[in-house]
């Protein structure tokens, strides 16, 4: 039986102009689904784990289409609660060259945003589970969802389930003060924290010194300090920090660091020079890769290499979901990044 991982959050409709059109010139929009924890669940299902996704979706056809989008990739949708009136939407305008991407949310009053603690039976949901994952986007939906996340974390902790959280600060959803208050409370339950060079600063005021992500300058010692400060504050077992160097909307440097508090190791991955097809879900694919690698018993260095390789591949895939195989990730993590045709 494959290991069971539960993820909880909001799956949304993604509407996007074709190619690199701007919103104002588009007369057709591509319709797909995605969302932080849903993206992680798809990655884990692709790697052969028993990935269970938990959310609340309406019973109408648009809600059902969201369920079907997950089923298509092998995600267990049996714990999705049905009810409410709408599915959240985000409009995504892909950036190009020096023009950054634009994301506009239309998610107010979605089914999950109006969910209550009574909707979810975490005792049942966590039966046989080894891991629980959520992101900072989910509690940002409202105080009621903070409470749902808290109940989930308490139930997971009581069962000895490992908990991971990607801080994922979204300034369009809540203020830094709101994020700090909620995430400080939730992070006391978290074992594995995932962050990037901006989230630790935005949520907790912790930042790497002598680093300029826009100028392409990263200071490894500064990131060691960020990981250590996060560990000292919350007692995390592991802290992962993704390191993105933005040269343009198309071209990024991509790497990561994983800190293991038990061994005291700070492991930095190799850096990939990415030419981006779609960066949405890049962090989620890292999280999915990291969860898989830890559950598979990989070393700290092997785990961060696997997670970064998974995420590097995601940047070559359209849509939110990382539609790559375990073998493809292992191959890249092992050093074959040539991109040559496979015959």
What gap in Å lies between CA 62 and CA 103, rounded to an integer? Answer: 21
Give the count of domains, the chain: 1
Is pTM, for the whole model, over 0.85? yes
CATH of the domain at 60: 3.40.1190.20
Two tokens at 56? 């609340």
Residue 20 lies in a domain: yes
Residue 342 lies in a domain: no
**What per-residue confidence (pLDDT) applies to 306?**
98
CA distances from 42 to 16, 20, 53, 287, 292 (A): 21, 26, 9, 11, 12
**What per-residue confidence (pLDDT) applies to 281?**
93
Question: Pairing mode, if any, of strands 272-275 and 251-260?
Answer: antiparallel
**What per-residue confidence (pLDDT) applies to 208?**
76
Per residue of the chain (343 residues), give pLDDT as tens: 589 999 999 999 999 999 999 999 999 999 999 999 999 999 999 999 999 999 999 999 999 999 999 999 999 999 999 999 999 999 999 999 999 999 999 999 999 999 999 999 999 999 999 999 999 999 999 999 999 999 999 999 999 999 999 999 999 999 999 999 999 999 999 999 999 878 999 999 998 776 555 555 678 888 999 999 999 999 999 999 999 888 998 999 999 999 999 999 999 999 999 999 999 999 999 999 999 999 999 999 999 999 999 999 999 999 999 999 999 999 999 987 666 656 5
Are 20 and 120 contacting, i.e. CB atoms less than 8 angstroms apart? no
CB atoms within 10 A of CB 268: 19
Show the CA angle centred on residue 118, arms to residues 112 and 123, nearest 5°.
Answer: 105
Residue 339 lies in a domain: no
Residue 323 lies in a domain: yes
Residue 338 lies in a domain: no
**What per-residue confidence (pLDDT) applies to 292?**
98
Two tokens at 232? 């000292």
Are 109 and 81 contacting, i.e. CB atoms less than 8 angstroms apart? no
Domain that holds residue 303: 4-333
Buried b (16+ CB within 10 A) or exposed e, 79-107: bbbeebebbbbbbbbbbbeeeebeeeeeb
First and final C-alpha spacing in the chain: 33
Two tokens at 31? 């319709």
Residue 340 lies in a domain: no
Residue 343 lies in a domain: no
CA distances from 180 to 15, 104, 195, 205, 321 (A): 30, 23, 14, 9, 28
**What per-residue confidence (pLDDT) applies to 340?**
61
Residue 33 lies in a domain: yes
**What per-residue confidence (pLDDT) applies to 246?**
87
């Amino acid at each position: 039986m494959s290991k069971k991982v539960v993820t909880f959050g909001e799956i949304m409709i993604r509407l996007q102009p074709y190619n690199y059109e701007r919103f104002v010139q588009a007369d057709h929009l591509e319709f797909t689904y995605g969302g932080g924890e849903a993206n992680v669940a798809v990655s884990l299902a692709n790697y052969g784990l028993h990935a269970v996704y938990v959310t609340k979706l309406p019973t109408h056809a648009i809600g059902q289409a969201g369920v079907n989008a997950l089923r298509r990739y092998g995600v267990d949708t049996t714990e999705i609660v049905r009810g409410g009136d709408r599915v959240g939407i985000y409009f995504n305008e892909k950036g190009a060259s020096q023009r950054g991407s634009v994301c506009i949310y239309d998610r107010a009053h979605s089914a999950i945003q109006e969910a209550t603690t009574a909707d979810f039976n975490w005792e049942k949901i966590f039966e046989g589970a080894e891991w629980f994952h959520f992101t900072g986007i989910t509690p940002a939906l409202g105080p009621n969802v903070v409470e749902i996340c808290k109940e989930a974390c308490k139930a997971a902790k009581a069962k000895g389930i490992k908990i991971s959280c990607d801080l994922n600060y979204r300034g369009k959803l809540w203020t830094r003060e709101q994020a700090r208050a909620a995430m400080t409370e939730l992070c006391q339950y978290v074992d594995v924290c995932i962050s990037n060079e901006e989230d630790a600063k935005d949520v907790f005021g912790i930042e790497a010194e002598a680093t300029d992500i826009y100028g392409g300058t990263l200071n490894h010692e500064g990131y060691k300090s960020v990981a250590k400060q996060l560990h000292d504050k919350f007692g995390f077992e592991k802290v992962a920090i993704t390191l993105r160097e933005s040269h343009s909307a198309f071209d990024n440097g991509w790497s990561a660091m994983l800190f293991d508090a038990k061994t005291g190791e700070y492991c930095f991955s190799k850096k990939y020079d990415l030419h981006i097809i779609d960066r949405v879900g890049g962090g989620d694919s890292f999280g999915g890769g990291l969860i898989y690698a830890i559950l598979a018993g990989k070393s700290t260095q092997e785990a961060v290499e696997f997670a970064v390789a998974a995420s590097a591949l995601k940047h070559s895939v359209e849509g939110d979901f990382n539609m790559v195989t375990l073998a493809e990730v292992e191959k890249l993590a092992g050093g074959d990044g040539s991109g040559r045709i496979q015959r």
